[in-house]
Amino acid sequence: MTTTQTVYHDRVAKLVKLSRDRHVFSFTRFDWSESIPESDWWMSPELLTIYNTPYYEQASEAQRKLLSKWECINLFSLNVTGEQELIAGVAQLLHTPMLKEANEYLHHFIDEENQHMWYFAQFCEKYGGKIYGNKKIQLSDMKLDAKLSILVRFAQIFIFEEVGHYYNLKVALDERVHPFIREINEAHRNDESRHITFGRALLARLADGIDQEYPPETLQTISVHLNRYIQLTIESLYNPAMYRDAGFTSGIAIRTALLADPRRQHFHSNELLKKILGLLRDTHLLKKEMSLEPSA
Ligand SMILES: [Fe+2]
Ligand SMILES: [Fe+2]
């Protein structure tokens, strides 16, 4: 085994052990609050999509709190739909020879995501009365070999998980937020930190040498695809329905204005996506600087 292989092998073995040592049964672990008041913070005000824009300045504290409820429901709904897709995608890759060393860990991955999907859906239904039906991110199929297909799939998973993790970490630590919401964020954060460690290790391992192995056009196609995936992920955070549910007049107009706002774009590129862009560039999966052009 080469050094890279040994490091990867040891890391995956360690993650399997951690998943077993820290295994929880989410279906009974939470003491579900009867209700969560709309006068509470459901997420940190600085994490709201209107933060640092005139919409935030003009909103009253009560409106900001109400929006924090629907933004929380949106983030949790995104987790439900994203985890459903993730489980389906990872299940297809079980027993793939290229992922042989990771196979055991992938079972834990699916097990943990299934539990997350359950509690996020439960939360949305119980406290929001619905799960937002987010558009599935549909991207055109690329003709890629097995290795690049696996790389793209795990790069998408990595993007999805890192974005969610950013919010989980901050909300879990924010004493202004309702304790039960903090607890859910903390529970998710615990499992996700292992998934992200795994994603990083897998991407580094599989992407090692792809710049030599594949022609620049192929890598360019992947880069364009992942760039688009990142844009759609960002846009999904600005769900027009949550602005409407929080009493703002035009959800679509607010979404369009916010996505075009340089202060929001700065936050995306320099804060929310910072680690993601760094890793994807280091592994040759993302080439160009990303420009956030709203698609809708
Ligand atoms: Fe999850
Ligand atoms: Fe995860």
Bridge partner list, 177: 41
CA of 288 from ligand 1 middle (Å) equals 29
- The architecture (CATH level 2) of 3-14+62-282 comes to Orthogonal Bundle (1.10)
Bridge partner list, 35: none
CA of 112 from ligand 2 middle (Å) equals 7
CA of 191 from ligand 1 middle (Å) equals 7
% of the chain residues with pLDDT over 70: 95
CA of 296 from ligand 2 middle (Å) equals 28
* Ramachandran region, residue 95 (left: φ > 0; alpha: ψ -120 to 50; beta: rest): left
- With b for 16 or more beta-carbon neighbours within 10 A and e for fewer, the 105-123 pattern comes to bbebbbebbebbbebbbbb
pLDDT at 296 over 50: no
Q: Tens digit of pLDDT for each residue in 111-154?
A: 999 999 999 999 999 999 999 997 766 666 788 999 999 999 99
CA of 113 from ligand 2 middle (Å) equals 6
For the ranges 60-69, 160-169, 284-293, the lowest mean pLDDT is seen at: 284-293
CA of 139 from ligand 1 middle (Å) equals 22
CA of 115 from ligand 2 middle (Å) equals 10
